[in-house]
Amino acid sequence: MNYDNLEHYAGRGVLDIETLKTVGLHIQKDAILFAVLAKNGGIFMDMDTIVFSGLTDIQQRLETTELITFHMHLGFVAARQRSALVLECLEVVQHRLATLREQSEPVTRVSWDFFGNSILDEVIWNAAHRMSLVSRTQGALLSGISRLLAHTGSVGRDPAKFLNRLDKFIATQVIFRHLFRKHYLMLSRDRQGFIAERVYGNKKLKNPLQKYRDYWFTHNSHRVLPPPRHIPVIGLHNSWTPQWYSSLSESEVLEHECLLSRTLGEALNYNAAH
């Protein structure tokens, strides 16, 4: 896929390609993801994704839901054609592209999730609040918590920010997980091992980048992944990969003793055998 054939996959006039080009490629990707999945359905994966086995199980889950991610990670997205949530996300993408186009100053910087997670969060929150009973119940709960925080002086000097985060958590992780499963299924990134270092990495390390590098690139020959059947898909963070590793040749990567090299070798052998 490139700029010349993008409209073949996303639809004619669906994305303002010239405005899209003004932001980084990693930001463009999310806009393209929503456009392509809305038109075609299917599975959209980041390039730094390791697939250990067939994706039949995930494809079968699309028979009972319209959209699947690991938690809310847009590195791997499976969707039915014209999924309601994907279409709504695409509408927000189009609106934000129009806003960028109308700016008099050149686009110099937008957030990494400008066309991605920030939109998905917004769409899910709006969908949850469209259910009047849920909205009233959630509003009453947050109002009660707000009064409690005001009384106790908890969560520092910015209770409004805390309540906003709590509101989004309830909408995305509680309401959608249980009431909107026919529209959106969030698989557990931990139970499924999608972010492997979160589950199997050094529990004492809190910094995600440090945890990622320690897990995948240190010399620990005893560290292994569970059997591939328990981890069908692994999401990596290519931008966090150390430069020394990125500069290795293909043969040097596969011969290296770090866990990522051994995992890549195992994935290649597993898929070749199956």
pLDDT of residue 162: 64
**Count of alpha carbons within 13 Å of 34, Cβ hemisphere only?**
24
Residue 10's CB is within 10 A of a number of other CB atoms, namely 23
Stronger pLDDT, 195 or 231, i.e. the higher one:
195
pLDDT surpassing 70 at residue 68: yes
- Asked if 78 contacts 36 with a C-beta cutoff of 8 angstroms, the reply is no
**Residues with Cβ < 8 Å from 68, sequence gap 6 or more?**
58, 61, 62, 77, 78, 79, 184, 185, 186, 187
pLDDT of residue 244: 96
- Asked if 183 contacts 85 with a C-beta cutoff of 8 angstroms, the reply is yes
- Asked if 254 contacts 264 with a C-beta cutoff of 8 angstroms, the reply is yes
The whole-number average pLDDT for the span 158-165 is 62
- Asked if 176 contacts 128 with a C-beta cutoff of 8 angstroms, the reply is yes
Token duo for residue 122: 């917004």
Say whether 223 sits in a helix, a strand or coil.
Answer: coil
The percentage of the chain sitting over the pLDDT mark of 70, rounded to a whole number, equals 77
Stronger pLDDT, 180 or 152, i.e. the higher one:
180
231: confidence class by pLDDT, cuts 50, 70, 90: confident
Residue 89's CB is within 10 A of a number of other CB atoms, namely 27
pLDDT of residue 117: 93
pLDDT, tens digit (0-9, with 9 covering 90-100), for 22-33: 999 999 999 999
- Asked if 223 contacts 259 with a C-beta cutoff of 8 angstroms, the reply is yes
Token duo for residue 91: 């509408």
Residue 59 parent element (H or E): helix 56-61
Distance CA 217, CA 196 (A): 13
167: confidence class by pLDDT, cuts 50, 70, 90: low
Give the residue among 19, 55, 47, 86 at the shortest CA–CA distance from 233: 55
pLDDT, tens digit (0-9, with 9 covering 90-100), for 28-50: 999 999 999 999 999 999 999 99
pTM: 0.83
pLDDT surpassing 80 at residue 19: yes
**How far does the chain reach from its first CA to its final CA, in angstroms?**
28
pLDDT of residue 229: 67
Distance CA 7, CA 215 (A): 40
